[in-house]
Chain A
Amino acid sequence: MTPLAVSASTVSSALGCGLAAQRDALREGRSGLRRNDFGSAPWLGWVGRVDGVEAVTLPPALVDWDCRNNRLAWLGLQQDGFVDRVQAARERYGAHRVALLLGTSTASIGATEEAYCRLDADGRFPVDLRRPALHAPDSLSAFARAALALEGPSLTLSTACSSSAKVFASATRMLALGLADAVVVGGVDSLCDNVLFGFNALELISPAACRPFDAARDGISIGEAAGFALLERIDAAPHAPRLLGYGEASDAWHMSSPHPDGHGAELALEAALARGGLRASQVDYVNLHGTASRANDAMEAALVARRFPAGTRASSTKGCTGHTLGAAGIVEATIALQAIEHGFVPGNVGATTPDPACGAQFAWTCEERPVDVALSNSFGFGGNNACLVFGRAP
């Protein structure tokens, strides 16, 4: 494929708001996880919670969109001058030539949960939550389109934990066909009872902070995050890091566990490398999906061992951020981009006794080293796999 410029990006997670907070935490090997202090189940594991979301106030024109997910989205958009970069693109190309493609799995379901908690005497939603657009899975994109004053094509992708990786694929296709001149991609997922009790029901939540690729790992820690990136053609930002390839594939296996042999994950990897015109040996760093579930990490450790030489470094950063579900793709895309920009490989925080299935590729602690090509894996329920490849501008 024709590489694209990632001309701006931003991220906010349990590691803090903005790129600098994430970079510093990753370099220090610091985790943002805390004992769960959210919602009605404080005993449920540890979480990656973003500080300050409750205090966010939306501007008057956007108050109908108020909910935790959109407050987190708004908080995220304010970091790293991202709103200004989008405004510049809007002025350069015209609002209808800037598309918006966002991934989410929770959207604003937390607001729907709240409405069910506060049904009125007639069994209806409370008056303050009778906002139909808020109780729909595209509420994030509808809110962001209004917040960014964009008038181009717009779509929400919701393929569970691969959602905000797949938006890069859709954006690439849209730019290739000339349907837009710039695309805002990203994703936002927020803590809510739905995911906490849902993953609890699946017995996938660790009672402690998650330990990706540890021999004794016992489940995930759920996180929340907002992240965004601006994709343009290379001539608009020749020195910006680049999206070199993407791959998407399905497992055709099971609704809530990955194919044990990683078939779909490997197909996505192969497609991403092929689009980038790259061999696996040219990949310097792989940011793994690495949720700390028994099944995912076993499958992914074997995939890394089978497909990459020892010189390729690999780690999961979910021990730092938690599993941010629908936002994981964009969070980890920004980590891959930071690895390239700042020349480091984040350590696999949380693991103390590496699973013997992990090969020499694993970076258990942060390594300062140049990274020219970085790859990010994102796998979702339903066997939905995505892989992104980023590279330094030559």
Chain B
Amino acid sequence: MTALCLYVEGIGVWSPHLGDFAALRAMLAGQATAKNDAPVAALLPANERRRAPESVRLAVEVAGQALAMSGRDPTTLACVFASAHGDQSITDAICSTLVEAPTQLSPTRFHHSVHNAPAGYWTIATGCRAPSSATCAGSHTFGAALLEAATQALAEQRPVLLVCSDIAGRGPLLEMTGCDRAFGCALLLTPEAGVNTLAQLRLQIANEHAAPTPAPVALAGDAVGNPATAALPLLASLVAGAGACRIGCATEMDLLTTVEAAA
């Protein structure tokens, strides 16, 4: 196959150490960054923000950052929300309730447990009637979702908002997921260059599997346990304005990503 060629118009990132893309840039430049308590998710109306589970607030926070950078209209913007584990906190709570008092299961908690809860909240908050999706692929969740979003952007010739995030797990499930810290990122991908283009992104599938590109040393502490941090090497390339990395998108299949300045 020939390489998939796209453009990046918006970037969002959030972790307890990184409030946004500017903070990532600062951290890679060796500057101290502020600690964040929780993702704000400013795009959600206040009452929704109170109700929304943590997984939704994290996804909406990074999605909102990427959208703001691009200046796009969200009502017609397709979106792909990826998460390796979904809302682990809700899974833990529901499974505990099912053991202790199954008929006490909260209806709100149940509909928050669907994997597309972030996509649902996002489309409701932004009035988006475009296609929305929710995906997962284990440790390859970011790479597989990047391929899915890029494919949609190019095959349908429309911008696509890609979000990949996982919150910290809790309870007995945590030993299985091994995901003990929150991380989320978002990329607004377009098939054509425009006035707000930040960089060009090329993707190529590689069938010979090799070790994925490690995260930059400054981010090594963040790149543990949370599958969404597989995006960090690509995010670092976007900070630098150029760079190449290898990201797993399936078992024994990688995406070779190349970032360069838009022509």
Contacts and interface: CB of A to CB of B under 8 A. Distances in A.
Interface of A: 40-41, 96, 105, 109, 112-113, 115-117, 119, 123-125, 130-133, 135-138, 141-142, 145, 151-160, 166, 169-170, 172-174, 176-179, 193-194, 197-203, 248-256, 263-264, 267, 380-384
Q: Which of B4, B110, B148, B178 counts the most chain A CB atoms within 10 A?
A: B110
A65 to B, nearest CB: 13
Contacts, number: 221
B123 A201 contact: no
Contacts of B263: none
B138 A197 contact: no
A361 B141 CA distance: 43
A352 B155 CA distance: 45
A252 B126 contact: yes
Contacts of A116: 95-96, 98-99, 172
Most chain A beta carbons < 10 A, residue from B112, B155, B253: B155
Given A125-B175, A153-B253, A155-B137, 8 more contacts: A137-B83, A151-B207, A153-B250, A154-B253, A157-B134, A193-B102, A381-B116, A383-B124
Interface stretch (B30-38, B84-92, B193-201): B84-92
A194 B151 CA distance: 33
Given A137-B86, A173-B156, A200-B103, A154 B250 contact: yes
A115 B172 CA distance: 9
Contact of B102 (A40, A177, A254): A40
B255 to A, nearest CB: 10
B36 to A, nearest CB: 26
Contacts of B1: 177-179
Contacts of A154: 137, 140, 144, 250-251, 253
A132 B178 CA distance: 9
21 contacts: A125-B172, A133-B138, A136-B177, A137-B85, A141-B137, A153-B205, A153-B253, A154-B250, A154-B253, A157-B135, A158-B136, A159-B114, A177-B1, A194-B95, A197-B98, A197-B110, A198-B105, A248-B133, A382-B114, A383-B120, A384-B132
A288 to B, nearest CB: 20
Contacts of A198: 94, 105, 107, 110-111, 113
Contacts of B98: 113, 116-117, 193-194, 197
B130 interface: yes
A158 B151 contact: no
Interface of B: 1-2, 4, 75, 83-86, 91, 94-96, 98-99, 102-103, 105-107, 110-117, 119-121, 123-124, 126-138, 140-141, 144-145, 147-148, 151-152, 154-156, 172-173, 175-178, 205, 207, 249-253
Most buried by B among A125, A154, A166: A154
Nearest to B145: A155
Nearest to A100: B250
A152 B253 contact: yes
A138 B173 CA distance: 15
Contacts of B114: 105, 158-160, 380-382
A292 B111 CA distance: 18
> Which one of A96, A173, A197, A252 has the highest number of Cβ atoms from chain B below 10 Å of its Cβ?
A252
